[in-house]
Amino acid sequence: MTQPPEDPYLPGRPEGGLTVDRYELELDYRVATNRLDARAVVHAQASRPVDRVSLSLHGLRVGQVLVDGKRPSRWTHRDDRIDIRLSATLTVGVALVIEVRYGGQPGPARGPWGEVGWEELEDGLIVAGQPDGAPTWFPCHDSPADKASFSVVVTAEAGYEVLANGQLVSRTPRAGRVRWAYEQAEPMAPYLATLQIGRYQRLMHGTQLIVPSRLLAAAEHDLARQPAMIALFEDRFGPYPFAAPYTVVVTDDDLEIPLEAQGLSVFGANHLDGRRGSERLVAHELAHQWFGNSLTVGRWRDIWLHEGFACYAEWLWSEQSGGWTAHRQARSAHARLSLLPQDLLIGDPGAAAMFDDRLYKRGALTLHALRLTVGDDVFFDILRTWTARYRHGTVSTELFVACASEVAGVPLALLVESWVYRAALPELPPGSSGLVPRLG
């Protein structure tokens, strides 16, 4: 068992000495007062010989810590870190169960990317955990490389719709409150765990929509082509990766950008205009279910494997739905990038530039250059092999290069390197300007 190394993009995050198999969260939440009382049970294993382990938890008060049902020798909670001294040294692979009781009034963590994590809305809440917001609502080993299954049970006031990742297992009214139980069986990185609470309507409209009543008509129109997107992406990328139906939440509040989580996406009221004005973003967030959620980078330096692929999916949908072809999109993006500073290595952009739009576009151009080089059939074989081989796993640029080269039967490291690890913008390889892939 290998412990993921500390990510320099998230300095100070505890290495922890453990890997997590499963999180079981029991949350009792009062919307009006933003009061959370919670219990987390973390099923983990020692990743190296340890006599102490650590979890991250931000902005909440810890009341009790147990290890295997007993009090540990000592525990402290300082600087967003729960440090637990064990009664004996554990060898690699030995299992332990950590129980943490905690509570308070959660709020977002403030960092280089603004406010991340738990956020109150006008009447409800959202959790937007990327990249480091998970500890704002549960104790965790906050590494994208440490995936685990989740059980999330939430009790909140009646009249609110409550959504967490995975399958809704039960919904039980209790004296003016409702207990919601969700099971996320497929492994999930902590930052992709989410909780959404609001006064919503839940309906199936090809995919599952959770929407305020006033926005139902706009949502049904603007999100109507999601089943066609899923059909296209399943053909290009392989089967949809999760058992639960894909869900879109539309908040009654405006949001600056859409939010991704495993199995669902969250849009603000401002992203619905009744004219599909944000359909590019709808395709982008859906594509993250393959690239980002099923296949997740182990270190944030490789984030182009999430964002570049999702951006390229936008271009594929544009092509499929009668808009610009991917090739025209690529030429346009290339022309715009050529006018901007070329000082970004998308294979290691640095924490401050993780979400720079140039990374998104140049990541997509990397894929288009690969497509022009190997041809459509091999290119989409590469993508389907990539998603199948590392389904629900942890990926890196090196693994992608190896997979692509194997499928193509030719070395592709130099091609990828010129786009990913060099600042100067390469020219697109020669290729057909009429690339229009077909379903089937």
pLDDT per residue as tens digits for the range 359-382: 999 999 999 999 999 999 999 999
Same-domain check for residues 174 and 237: no
pLDDT per residue as tens digits for the range 226-267: 999 999 999 999 999 999 999 999 999 999 999 999 999 999
Whether 394 is covered by a domain: the verdict is yes
Mapping DSSP onto H, E and C, the string for 253-294 reads CCCCCCEEECCEEEECHHHCCCCCCCHHHHHHHHHCCCECCC
pLDDT per residue as tens digits for the range 15-59: 789 999 999 999 999 999 999 999 999 999 999 999 999 999 999
Using alpha carbons only, give the angle 371, 440, 401 rounded to the nearest 5 degrees.
30
| pLDDT of 95 above 60 | yes
- Domain with 415, as residue range(s), is 297-420
Bridge-partner residues for 76, per DSSP?
A: 83
Same-domain check for residues 327 and 399: yes
Same-domain check for residues 246 and 147: no
Residue 393's domain is classified under what CATH number?
1.10.390.10
Q: What does pLDDT average to over the chain? A: 94
| pLDDT of 206 above 90 | no
User: Residue 188: which of 109, 259, 242 has the closest Cα?
Assistant: 242
Residue type, 17: G
Whether 429 is covered by a domain: the verdict is no
| Rounded Cα gap, residues 29 and 24, in angstroms | 16
Same-domain check for residues 312 and 416: yes
Share of the chain above pLDDT 90, in %: 92
Same-domain check for residues 264 and 313: no
| Bridging pattern class, strands 394-395 and 177-188 | unpaired
For the chain, the domain total comes to 3
Q: Tokens representing 379?
A: 């290119």
Same-domain check for residues 172 and 23: yes
Domain boundary among 140, 163, 193: 193
Same-domain check for residues 367 and 273: no
Q: Give the pLDDT of residue 334.
A: 98
Residue 2's domain is classified under what CATH number?
2.60.40.1730
| Rounded Cα gap, residues 26 and 417, in angstroms | 46
Residue 233's domain is classified under what CATH number?
3.30.2010.30
Query: Is there a cis peptide before residue 131, judged by omega within 30 degrees of 0?
Result: yes
For range 396-416, the mean pLDDT: 98
3-state DSSP call for residue 423?
Answer: coil
Q: Give the pLDDT of residue 2.
A: 52
Among the residue ranges 2-16, 154-168, 177-191, 371-385, the one predicted with the least confidence is 2-16
CA distance to 172, 199, 302, 348, 393, per residue, from 144 (Å) = 32, 31, 11, 16, 10
Same-domain check for residues 253 and 319: no
Domain boundary among 289, 323, 349: 289
Whether 225 is covered by a domain: the verdict is yes
Same-domain check for residues 343 and 228: no
Q: Give the pLDDT of residue 440.
A: 28
| pLDDT of 432 above 80 | no
Mapping DSSP onto H, E and C, the string for 219-245 reads HHHHCCCHHHHHHHHHHHHCCCCCCCC
Q: Give the pLDDT of residue 435.
A: 43
Q: Max CA-CA distance within the chain?
A: 67
Domain boundary among 265, 289, 313: 289
| pLDDT of 4 above 60 | no
Same-domain check for residues 57 and 24: yes
Crossing angle (nearest 10°) for helices 397-408 and 376-389: 130
pLDDT per residue as tens digits for the range 292-303: 999 999 999 999
Q: Give the pLDDT of residue 433.
A: 39
| Bridging pattern class, strands 61-67 and 264-267 | unpaired
Q: Give the pLDDT of residue 137.
A: 98
Whether 223 is covered by a domain: the verdict is yes
Whether 24 is covered by a domain: the verdict is yes
Whether 13 is covered by a domain: the verdict is yes
Same-domain check for residues 12 and 157: yes
Same-domain check for residues 1 and 61: yes
Whether 379 is covered by a domain: the verdict is yes
Whether 309 is covered by a domain: the verdict is yes
Q: Give the pLDDT of residue 5.
A: 59
Q: Tokens representing 436?
A: 């229009």
Question: Which residues contact residue 216 at a Cβ distance below 8 angstroms, ignoring those fewer than 6 apart?
Answer: 201, 203
User: Residue 269: which of 253, 282, 256 has the closest Cα?
Assistant: 253
